[in-house]
Each structure stands twice: as C-alpha cells, then as structure tokens.
Amino acid sequence: MKNTITPDGNKITGIFCNFFGHHFVVSKKVTEHIKEYKCVHCQKQVTTDERGKLSPLTAKLKEINKTLEDMYHRRNRRRAVGHPERKQVA
C-alpha cells in the first residue's frame, strides 16, 4: 500500500483524527497568550486567534505571529537590559 501524504498529514492518521479528534501539542510559543499547535497524528497546524479560539494556521497568520513574536522579544529584552521594573511608592 502506498503511503500518501496530504497537506494535513497521512491519510490513515487523518481518518483517526476524523473519528477521535486531533491531539494538539504546542509547537511554538509566540507570546504568553498566543501559541501555535500541531496535531501529533496528522500534522495539522493551528494557532490561537484574537479571541483565544483555535484557527487554522494560514500564511497570513504565520506572518502576524512572527511579527508579534519579534515585538514581544524586543520589548522583553529592552525591559531586562536597561529598564528595571518601577517600584510603586505607597
């Protein structure tokens, strides 16, 4: 039997996901609240959208996530290096 790979992964594992649902694991942490997930069976990729729901990972969302990740790291790097947290005076 020929093993065919589809954009969502293998046909056999795709059938498994159709019956039992996907088993998503975090593949990339973009920010504290936004993550990219990948199904361990069929390799389908999803991400959290602006409402916190899972959405299919499209090229547009990949670009948005990359930009958010860059901004997030730049901001945190700047805080850690030169700008310590301000102390509040009571």
Give the separation between CA 31 and CA 9, rounded to whole angstroms. 27
User: Would you state the pLDDT for residue 76?
Assistant: 87
| Ordered alpha helix ranges (H), the chain | 11-20, 59-81
Give the separation between CA 70 and CA 62, rounded to whole angstroms. 12
Looking at the predicted structure, is the pLDDT value of residue 83 above 70?
A: no
Looking at the predicted structure, is the pLDDT value of residue 1 above 50?
A: no
User: Would you state the pLDDT for residue 89?
Assistant: 64
- The average pLDDT across 66-82 equals 86
User: What's the pLDDT band for 2 if we cut at 50, 70, 90?
Assistant: very low
